[in-house]
Structure 1
């Protein structure tokens, strides 16, 4: 079967194009998280934790996302000696800012069919956003950097690191009162497929190196 042509030929992008693609991807990523959060059926493990923290501190979910990203970056850079790029810092700052800016713009649907439609739109958009931000090739996100650093230093499989980290984060978020729900399970089952589609749209299939991607696009 002939493979579909990528949406954008990444090797032809000038530097300004890389940054434009990165910014577009990060905006879409923040929007996707806000769509899922406002849908009210559950969110990703990291956002269960982020929202859980807001139950106890006078901060927004975007601020918690930025704070946790900076802490992870500090650990991976200073302890694991993992390199990072400008895209890493922009990832930390912009996704949280976009989530907060869109808090009152994105609807809070009340009917379950609409809630799930909005949630699934968020999952789909997250995959496209991942393809864009990874395709820019300007640095992994802080959570990706953590997994890559642990893999490089200790030799643990990336898939196991991802699972362990997200289980711990999810449990911590639940204990803090974060919004775990059926959507959290749906996210776990669907996000891999969504990201795979997004990567392929930008010509980043499994046979090609995925620049800036560890195990989770955030």
Structure 2
């Protein structure tokens, strides 16, 4: 994604071209992302690293998984302050809406009762989650919460992105697993599948930022 859109202030983002389309795709992406996570959890075969932690904390606190996800998101945002990261409109919407969409899905969709149902939910959730992630990123209204944490650490200490992301996700996964979160084949499938699908879909759903309006033809 062009760095200009991610680092623009929220006021600047309100002046981006095709803002209604960007806001629509932002909402669609965040909703699909939360629904996808809910389907993966209902499959019962494990979860993504951050969701392993959210489930574990939800079971220990009595809060809903979506509520824990929202609270965790705002804690991650606090870590942005010393890293001098600037959240965008999409970042703040992400912190709130994904958890709500997750809880709605978990309320409406019952747990899988067969292997076929579990496999279908897992694959559907992964595909929806990945495509929605690409749609959210393509709106160019601010980085995701975990992405901002990762890039902030990268810029602050000049560390490579890959190892930084791996350490963060393995740490979160390890803590979640120790607290009793669901780790299983779904965790592995998510880790291997999310990146390639996002990479494949992202070019088709990205809304480019027009830096200037095209000039009108000169008469005469």
Same fold (TM over 0.5): yes
Runs of 4 or more consecutive aligned structure 1 residues displaced over 2 Å after TM superposition: none
Q: Which of 4, 29, 36 is equivalent to 1:32?
A: 36
1:170 corresponds in structure 2 to: 173
Equivalent of residue 86 in structure 1, options 69, 77, 89: 89
In the TM superposition, residue 13 of structure 1 has moved relative to its aligned partner by 5.8
Q: What whole-Å deviation, never above 9, does each CA across 1:159-179 have from its counterpart, x for those lacking one?
A: 111110010000100111101
Report the number of matched residues. Answer: 194
Query: How far off is 1:104 after superposition?
Result: 2.1
Q: 2:113 aligns with which of 104, 110, 113?
A: 110
Distance (whole Å) between structure 2 residues aligned to residue 88 and residue 182 of structure 1: 29
TM-score by length of structure 2 reads 0.84
Distance 2:110 2:140 in 1: 32
Q: Does 1:189 align with 2:189?
A: no
Aligned position for 2:7? none
The answer to whether the Cα contact below 8 Å between 1:33 and 1:126 also exists between their aligned partners in 2 is yes
Name 2:24's counterpart in structure 1.
20
Q: CA deviation at 1:203?
A: 4.8
Are 2:149 and 1:146 equivalent residues in the alignment?
yes
Give the whole-Å Cα distance in 2 for the aligned partners of 1:107 and 1:147. 34
- Secondary structure of the structure 2 residue equivalent to 1:82: coil
Native 8 Å contact 1:38 1:107 kept in 2: yes
Equivalent-residue separation in structure 2 for 1:186 and 1:97 (angstroms)? 24
Contact 2:39 2:105 in 1 (8 A): no
| C-alpha separation in 2, matches of 1:110 and 1:200 | 37
Greater per-residue helix proportion: 2
Which range is displaced more, 33-42 or 185-194?
185-194
- Whether 1:137 aligns to 2:155 is no
Q: CA deviation at 1:92?
A: 0.6
Q: Could you tell me whether the CA contact under 8 Å between 2:26 and 2:139 is conserved in 1?
A: yes
Of structures 1 and 2, the larger Rg is shown by 2
Question: Is contact 1:30–1:95 with CA below 8 Å preserved after alignment?
Answer: yes
Q: What displacement does 1:72 show?
A: 0.8
Give the distance between the partners of 1:28 and 1:203, measured in 2 at CA.
16
